[in-house]
A and B are shown apart, each in its own frame.
Chain A
């Protein structure tokens, strides 16, 4: 296994750093603090973890480039030679890779409550509060000054929700609303899940919320829980949300459903990557020690994992048997 210590920005692959910008640095600042301890827990941004998650995501071109609702234009046909077709496929794969970059997974942000000034004699002069935003174009949004003067006279920094609203008012971003849509409330998420539109919901959530806001984390966790409950893992396969979902499940040790789904679809490599990731994140568990000791590969690794770590052992054994039979018949015929 590669060394797991967080080595600062060098650990983040270059393409991720370019796309995530300030979030990569923020997430890693926390890691570097923890990494000073003897054994650093592998973070979402480590190269090894990212390669495993990326392998599991898959690359189904038909799904990545599925038609998005746009203006209606007549289809374009091109006449190509074999070589040109291969070149076009290669370029499509490159672009698919950029589309599959995983959105960042960060901890929930700390609420801001910082008082800058208290002027008690202003009590009663105003009835509503003033909210002042600094609209200098060149400051990054994270460092912008947004303060609130309450009717009681106290001048405080704005909360995260007020900050997001003001920044959206003065520097509107596409796909984001000033007031978050009602869709993201818990009672309405059920409707979305019934229509199997988890991917669209997650895309909307990424557009609307910051990655470290509690709403973003809550919506993502509800989606992953629902997918795990109903076994609809294939909805997110070959999208950029698959890595985040696997990270969530492995951290909470609920990998059984996903493992069964992978074995049913004959994706043995993905199953082994999943078990490897599990061992990376929980090195103290028994199957991890056995695997390291015995240097197991493939089906053996999964069998050891199933014996020690899983809750639904029976189902996984059945799926493994079915897979081995399928392999036997396919090699025989």
Chain B
């Protein structure tokens, strides 16, 4: 097998995405600028931050973002993965992702439907006799 140190790809572009690390039942994401054809947790160009998805003792999910380097890679033409876009939207660095808004509205609709479904059968058996 050839050396894996200097991989030459055909095509591909730089993406800023999450690389999963951590242990069993304990995820930890590193926000990373890498070639799109690389493995998810493989060699990256630069680490731009981290995200801990589990809440800490104070009930907060900690995320660090190296905004200066992020701006540099975006200026170099890097693309973002969808979760990365959503996270930066929540952070306020980018405008809110439309799917975040859509997801929130869908959730609200589903909750409203469940609430109505919950009251309607209660009315039905109650009103019938």
Interface of A with B (CB < 8 Å)? 116-117, 119, 121-125, 128-138, 145, 147-149, 155, 162, 165-166, 169-170, 179
B residues in contact with A116, CB < 8 Å: 92
* Given A121-B104, A121-B105, A125-B104, CB of A130 within 8 Å of CB of B64: no
B residues in contact with A129, CB < 8 Å: 59-61
A residues in contact with B58, CB < 8 Å: 162, 165
CA A229 to CA B65, docked complex, whole Å: 49
Contact of A122 among B92, B100, B111 (CB under 8 A): B100
CA A131 to CA B59, docked complex, whole Å: 10
A residues in contact with B120, CB < 8 Å: none
B residues in contact with A162, CB < 8 Å: 58, 60
Whether A130 contacts B60 by the Cβ 8 Å rule is yes
CA A145 to CA B59, docked complex, whole Å: 20
CA A169 to CA B52, docked complex, whole Å: 12
CA A20 to CA B96, docked complex, whole Å: 41
Whether A128 contacts B59 by the Cβ 8 Å rule is yes
**The 3 A-B residue pairs with the shortest CB-CB distance in the complex, in nearest-first order:** A132-B91, A128-B55, A136-B68
A-B residue pairs in contact (CB < 8 Å), sample of 19: A119-B96, A122-B100, A124-B107, A124-B111, A125-B103, A125-B104, A128-B59, A129-B59, A130-B91, A131-B60, A132-B63, A132-B91, A132-B92, A133-B62, A145-B67, A155-B90, A155-B92, A162-B60, A169-B62
CA A136 to CA B69, docked complex, whole Å: 8
B residues in contact with A117, CB < 8 Å: 92
B74 at the binding interface (Cβ < 8 Å): no
CA A131 to CA B92, docked complex, whole Å: 11
Write the chain B residue with the least CB distance to A119: B96
A residues in contact with B100, CB < 8 Å: 122, 125
Whether B104 contacts A131 by the Cβ 8 Å rule is no
B45 at the binding interface (Cβ < 8 Å): no
CA A122 to CA B62, docked complex, whole Å: 19
Q: How far is the CB of B57 from chain A (nearest CB, A)?
A: 8
Q: How far is the CB of B40 from chain A (nearest CB, A)?
A: 22
Whether B67 contacts A166 by the Cβ 8 Å rule is no
* Given A124-B111, A129-B60, A130-B61, CB of A136 within 8 Å of CB of B104: no
Whether A135 contacts B66 by the Cβ 8 Å rule is yes
Contact of B108 among A119, A124, A135, A138 (CB under 8 A): A124
Write the chain B residue with the least CB distance to A148: B60
* Given A119-B96, A121-B108, A149-B90, CB of A133 within 8 Å of CB of B59: no
Whether A147 contacts B104 by the Cβ 8 Å rule is no
Contact of A133 among B57, B65, B68, B103 (CB under 8 A): B65
B101 at the binding interface (Cβ < 8 Å): yes
CA A149 to CA B91, docked complex, whole Å: 7
CA A135 to CA B30, docked complex, whole Å: 13
Whether B67 contacts A136 by the Cβ 8 Å rule is yes
Most-contacted residue by chain B among A121, A135, A166, A170 (CB, 10 A): A135
Which residues of B from 24 to 68 have beta carbons under 8 Å from A?
A: 49, 55, 57-68
Q: How far is the CB of A170 from chain B (nearest CB, A)?
A: 5
Contact of B104 among A122, A134, A148, A155 (CB under 8 A): A122
- Other than A130-B61, A130-B63, A133-B62, give 11 A-B pairs with Cβ distance below 8 A: A117-B92, A124-B104, A124-B107, A129-B60, A130-B91, A135-B64, A136-B68, A136-B69, A149-B91, A162-B60, A170-B64
B residues in contact with A165, CB < 8 Å: 58
A residues in contact with B108, CB < 8 Å: 121, 124
CA A147 to CA B64, docked complex, whole Å: 11
A residues in contact with B105, CB < 8 Å: 121
* Given A122-B100, A124-B107, CB of A135 within 8 Å of CB of B49: yes
Q: How far is the CB of B116 from chain A (nearest CB, A)?
A: 17
Most-contacted residue by chain A among B62, B100, B107 (CB, 10 A): B62
CA A166 to CA B101, docked complex, whole Å: 28
B residues in contact with A136, CB < 8 Å: 66-69
Q: How far is the CB of A292 from chain B (nearest CB, A)?
A: 55
B residues in contact with A149, CB < 8 Å: 90-92
* Residue-wise interface mask of B (86-107) relative to A, using a CB-CB cutoff of 8 A (1 in contact, 0 not): 0000111000100011011101
